[in-house]
Structure formats: C-alpha cells, structure tokens
Amino acid sequence: MKVLITGADGQLGADVLKALSARGVEHKGVYIKDFDITDKDAVAACMQAFKPSCVIHCAAYTQVDAAEDNIELCMRVNGEGTENFARACSEIDAGMVYISTDYVFSGEGNLPFETDAQKSPLQVYGKSKLAGEEAVLRHLKNHYIVRMSWAFGENGNNFVKTMQKLAETRDEINVVNDQIGSPTYTPDLAELLCGMAFSGKHGVYHATNEGYCSWAEFAQEIMSLSGSKCKINPIPTEKYPTRAIRPKNSRMSKTSLDKAGFKRLPEWQDALKRYLSKS
C-alpha cells in the first residue's frame, strides 16, 4: 500500500499524513511548493515516479470569497487540478479519495442533503468543487468522493482560531445564526479517510462530526469551553454580507456511511473539546 496525499501542508492534508504515519502506511506528501497541480505533465511525472495505490486529494483553492474575483484560478485548481490526478490515477489503476464540500448544494430547505441530491452551487467555489467531483466520476470507478463542511484542525486557519483571536480584543462578536451545518474536526476525518481508502467500498459519502449547529452556536461553544467572557451576538445573514453567497442549510445525511459500515465521526462538541485541549 502506498498513498499520495496532495495538499499535505493544508489543514486536512497534514492530519492525513499523521494518520497514515500512525498506521505505518508508506506515503508521500505533495506540498504547494512542489509543483502546480494544474500542470498535467508535472502531475503525471509525480504519479509515475511514486506509483501510489491511492491518492487522497486534499489540495484545493479554498478562499471562498476571493474565488468570486479569481474565477479562472479557482476553477483551474479545483476542476483541472483534480482532473489531472483523476486521469493519472486511471492510468496506473490507483484509487482516489476526493475531498468535496457542502457548497455543491443549494443550501435550501432544512432537511439533510442526501449524497445524490441535486447539485446547485451558489458560488464559484461550489461550482469548482462540483467540477472536481465530475472529473473524478468521469475518469475513475474506484473513487471515494467525501463531502465535508466547516473544517477545523491544528494546521492552518479556521473559524475556531478566528473566534479566539477576536475574543482577545473584543467584548462581543456578531455571528450569523441562520446558517446551519456541522463542524468537521480534521483529525477525525483523516482517520475515516485512511480507513476508507483501501476498503473497496467506492462511492459518495458525507463525513462531518455528528450534530448540527449555527455558526453562532459554534462560536458560543468555543467561548464557553475556552473560558472566554466574550459575548456572541446572533445575527441574520443579511446583516453580515459576504462576497460569496453562503448556504443556509449545510446539513448532510450520513446514510451512505451507515450503509457502507463506516463509523460516524464523534459529536462536534466532543471534537471541539479535544481540539481546544491541544491548543
């Protein structure tokens, strides 16, 4: 077993590296400095040299608001970059785990989206990640498409770090309370991905920590567990405009995990406690 991890310097990629090391699995990390993933020749050369059994593709353009002004770059990285690896995997009969997002959905309603629900992204980022999904489906049968949301981990920036930083200098913070979803602790997801990669249970999955909350509720739990006295003021999305439209409903069904026999991730509150105990 040999695994290639793209985006190894990112929040999730770094945790996948740790999880594979703990399992004693031979692996290689691809970092942003190594080569441009939109260069298909560079991707092919890397794949031919290492010849992995599976690629866990964590690399992505994730700046949601900036993507609205950098459409071509975002589409190239998340669409073409993913296709380059999917094509290269096909050529050496390797599997591929592609990390996608709740942003491929419309965010309408209040029921959890099933894996086969209609895709209707509201912003460039969502469209680019959907393009990546379509590329994987186009080139590979032995694929795992895993959608997550609201990621937080030790490596890189995330909502938890942002809230903690703001709380150092503010007595109160306004946070939206009408966008509902599930936080995803990247070490928990990394463990699932490593087990999934060689399971042979190909398909599309949703994997976030259990339970739903609003961003405001997430922020309140961060303050409570951090011992901060900073007050969180819940506000509607309309009072916090952003460059890119955010989905109001990011709930995703875990039925696909259950049917395949994969264990669901722990409750998000438990994950947050573990994260904060390390910071």
What's the CA gap between 269 and 266, in Å, rounded?
8
Within its chain, how far is the Cα of 16 from the centroid? 12
The encoded tokens of residue 74 equal 């975002």
Alpha-carbon distance of 223 to 172, in angstroms, equals 11
DSSP assignment of 44-100: HHHHHHH--SEEEE------HHHHTT-HHHHHIIIIIHHHHHHHHHHHTT-EEEEEE
CA distance 206 to 213: 17
Q: Which residues are catalytic?
A: 125
The structure tokens listed for 189 are 């997801």
Token pair, residue 43, equals: 């991707």
- Structure token digits, residue 248: 């109001």
Closest listed residue to residue 85, CA positions, set 154, 126, 133, 124: 133
In the structure encoding, which two tokens stand for residue 164, read together? 């903690």
Distance CA 244, CA 132 (A): 19
Tokens of 9: 């310097």
**Sheet arrangement for strand 143-148:** 26-30, 2-6, 54-57, 95-101, 143-148, 203-206
